[in-house]
Structure 1
Amino acid sequence: MSDKITNELQKLLKANVVTEETAKKIQQYFDEKQEGDQNKLSSVFAIVGAILVGLGIILVFAHNWDTLSRLTKTLLSFLPLLIGQLFCGYSILKKPESPTWRESSAVTLFFAVGSSIALIAQVYNIPGDLNSFLMIWMLLCLPLVYLLKSSVVSLLYLTGITYYGCNANYFTYPSLQSYYYWLLLLGIAPHYYKLLKTKANSNFTLFYNWFIALSIVICLGTIAHKNENLMTLSYMSLFTICYFIGQTPFFEKQKLKNNSFLIFGKLGILYLLLLYSFRWFWDKFIYNTASLSETFFSLEFIIVLLLTFFAGLLFYKKNSKTNFKKISILELAFLTNILFFIPGYEFSIMANGIVLAIGISEIKRGNKLNHLGILNFGLLLITILITCRFFDTDLSFVIRGILFITIGLGFFLTNYLMFKKRNRNEK
């Protein structure tokens, strides 16, 4: 503990402000806090050091690679793997309670596995592609997450399988239509669940909340095949599910920056509603199938049904506790999926009304809670809606200019009134 805090405690003891027992507890608290901060810092430096050492070894090999014999290349290819395993073995046997040793050794072995696979394939000209390389690499390193309880490796694993899903289905032509990403994602689920239960407020869990949500949003489109237009409906239901997850008691207790599901859900729903408000999007929403039976029995349609059903289940579970008296418009967004199956129905007009209603409700909520952020978010949403119509309608420039002036004055007046209200309440 710092000398400053120790001196202050001594002064409080002499002044009989705190007892001897209380002073010891305070001192113990700050000692443990300081030790925890030092452990976190040392873990970060150890992880960065392990990554730099691994990259340095690879660069040294690369510089002299062509001059080496095949036997030497083979031995050097396995050398990082051997070193990484020795470090991990030492961590498990001698330092099982040290996060610095566990994380740094696990990261070292993670990159060693990838480099060894790539080097051996290059030495012996083993054919393969990036997708198979990533899958083998991730599967071999998945046990490290559980053996060494390494959250850093689990984040690297999640990044790797996300890139695998994108490369297999988005980046390569022709794409493979691979669903292995979802099986690989299940492999990390127990570790994520344990983090939520034991370390809900840790930095690793914060990263996980964002990484998991982002990874699923990115890779949901990998399901698309012949009826890719249906994926818009799947994303609407997925964002609604994220929104409901973000409103569960567990995530409501978290800070907003930790609640990635709420942020992804809310912004995703609003983005799709704004997209629906364009007529061109509605006109191009057609099925590329020869018959309705092909559409209704496709995997994309089944996913839409499952996600919409799950969103409806979460909607019922949340609002049944309040007898459906506190339903927000955002929570009903997933029901718009039904409108797409009504022949001749143009949803763009209703989408404009829904976004406008959400904006007004956010302004009211911000005013009620005396929260400038929420109030300005509602104003910003209405501004974006008007901007969209700026490029989508034949209104004259004068009318468009008047609309923007009105919105600008609205920003100024609402913020002025909010500050005035706060000053009045403080007096």
Structure 2
Amino acid sequence: MSDKIKNELQELLHANVVTAETAEKIRDYFHQKEAENQNKLSSVFGILGAILVGLGIILVFAHNWDTLSRLTKVILSFLPLLIGQIFCGYSLLKKSASTVWRETASVFLFFAIGASISLVAQVYNIPGDLDSFIITWMLLSLPLVYVLQSSIVSLLYIAGITYYGCNANYFTYPSTHSFLYWLLLLGIAPHYYQLVKTKALSNFTLFHNWFISISIVICLGTIAHKNGHLLYLSYMSLFTIFYFIGKTTFFDQQKLKNNSFLIVGKLGILYLLLLYSFKWFWDKSFYKTDSLAETLLSIEFIIALLLTVLAAILFYKKNSKTNFKEVSLLELAFLTNILPFITGYEFSIIANILVLFIGIFEVKRGIKLNHLGILNFGLLLITILITCRFFDTNLSFVIRGILFITIGLGFFLTNYFMLKKRNRNEK
């Protein structure tokens, strides 16, 4: 506890503002908070230290590698693995209550596993590709997440399988195609569930929320094969599902930075709607398709259908409690998935109207809640929509200029009057 807080607390105590018992509780609170901060700082430096030591050992080996005998190379290849296991064993037996020890030891062993695999393969010239290396590394490291309860290794695991998903599909498409990422992702599900249940407000949970949501968004495209144009339908439903997850009681009560599902879902929906608002998007994306039967039986269509059904179930579950009286346009965005199957319809008009009304709704909600962030988000959305139409229409520069001036004045006046109202209410 800082000297300033101690002095102020002493003054309050002498002035009989707080009782001795209350003062003691305040001291205990700040001492506990300082201890938690020190543990977090120790964990960060311990993990960084383990990473640097591991990388340093690898660099030392690499510098002298060619001059060593095969036996020496084999011994040195397994040495980081042995050291890491010793540290992990000591952490389990003697320091099981210490997060710093568990995380540091498990991170060191995580990198030691990868180093040992690659070094042994190099010594004996074992053939293999990058995909098999990453899979082997991740699967051998996964037990660390549960044995040592290591959330950092869990995050590294998510990053590793995400890279694998990209390398096995995007980087080598169309020569290879793999769905193994989704099975690997399930491997981390029990640990994430435990974090959400027991440490909902911890930084580890916060990072897992972001890592998992972004990883799924990145790798959803790996299902694409012959009907990649249908991925837009899957992404719209996925973002809607994320939005509903973010609106559940558990996530809705947390700070916005912890609610990655709501942020990713909302921004994803709006991004796709803005993309839908361009006429060229529809001309190039959905009308150049294969036969109807082939499309309906494709993996892309099946996944899009399943995600859309799940989004509909979550929509019903959320709004049935309020008799559908609090339905927002964002929640209905996944219904645009039926548009590609309605021939002769001007889809871009629907998207423009949706984005415009969502922006107006956000402005109205910001005014009602007296929240400048929500207000400006709505105004920004309307501005982006108008900017899109700036490049997509043949309006004269005079009309375009007037529109931007109007939006600029709207930003200024709404913020001015809201701040004025807020100051008047504070007085």
TM-score w.r.t. length of structure 1: 0.96
CA drift at 1:346: 2.3
Shift of 1:175: 4.1
Unpaired segments of 5 or more residues in structure 1? none
Distance of 1:377 and 1:25 partners within structure 2: 41
Partners of 2:179 and 2:385 in 1: CA distance: 37
2:40 is the counterpart of 1:47? no
The letter of the residue matching 1:182 is W
What does the per-residue CA deviation read over 1:176-210, in whole Å, with 9 as the maximum and x for residues that have no partner? 21111000100000111111111111111111111
Who is 1:200 aligned against? 200
TM-fit CA distance, 1:237: 0.3
- Does residue 374 of structure 1 match 2:371? no
CA contact (8 A) 2:158 2:211 kept: yes
Change (3 A) 1:391 1:124: same
Superposed counterparts of 1:199-218, under 5 Å: 199-218=199-218
Q: Percent identity?
A: 79
Deviates more, 1:204-213 or 1:281-290: 281-290
Q: Return the alpha-carbon distance in structure 2 between the equivalents of residues 24 and 375 of structure 1.
A: 43
Residue 363 of structure 1 corresponds to: 363
Q: Which amino acid aligns with 1:177?
A: H
Amino acid at match of 2:54: G
Report the TM-score when normalising by structure 2: 0.96
For the structure 1 residues 57 and 253, does the alpha-carbon distance in structure 2 shift closer, same or farther, using more than 3 Å as the test? same
- After TM superposition, the structure 1 = structure 2 runs for residues 337-416 of structure 1, keeping only pairs within 5 Å, are 337-416=337-416
**Conservation of the 8 A alpha-carbon contact between 1:226 and 1:288:** no
SS at match of 1:343: coil
- Where 2:187 maps in the other structure, the secondary structure is helix
Counterparts of 2:413 and 2:16, CA distance in 1 = 54
Partner of 1:178, secondary structure, is coil
Do residues 66 (structure 1) and 66 (structure 2) align?
A: yes
**Matching of residue 229 in structure 1 with residue 229 in structure 2:** yes
Q: Contact 1:226–1:289 at 8 Å: present in 2 too?
A: no
CA distance in 2, matches of 1:337, 1:99: 46
CA distance 1:408–1:290, change in 2 (3 Å) = closer
- How do 1:8-407 and structure 2 match up within 5 A? 17-286=17-286, 290-407=290-407
Q: Alpha-carbon deviations, 1:10-62, whole Å to 9, x = none? A: 56555555555444433333332222221111111111111110011011011
Question: By how many angstroms is 1:367 displaced?
Answer: 1.0
Deviation at 1:143, TM superposition (A): 0.3
Paired with 2:418 and 2:232, the residues of 1 have a C-alpha distance of: 38
Q: 1:414 to 1:2 in 2, by over 3 A?
A: closer
Using the TM superposition, give the Cα deviation of residue 423 of structure 1 relative to its aligned residue in structure 2, in angstroms. Answer: 2.4
Decide whether the 8 Å contact of 1:365 with 1:375 is kept in 2. Answer: yes
Report deviation, 1:248: 0.7
The answer for unaligned runs of 5 or more in structure 2 is none
Partner of residue 417, structure 1:
417
Query: How far is 1:369 from its partner?
Result: 1.0
Deviations 1:374-396 (CA, angstroms, capped at 9, x unpaired) = 11111111111111111111112
CA contact (8 A) 2:242 2:261 kept: yes
AA at the equivalent of 1:41: L
Could you say if the C-alpha distance between residues 426 and 13 of structure 1 is closer, same or farther in structure 2, counting changes exceeding 3 Å? closer
Work out whether residues 227 and 287 of structure 1, in 8 Å CA contact, stay in contact via their aligned partners in 2: no
Separation in structure 1 between the aligned mates of residue 24 and residue 366 of structure 2, nearest angstrom: 45
- State the 1:219 CA deviation: 0.4
In 1, Cα distance between the equivalents of 2:410 and 2:28? 53
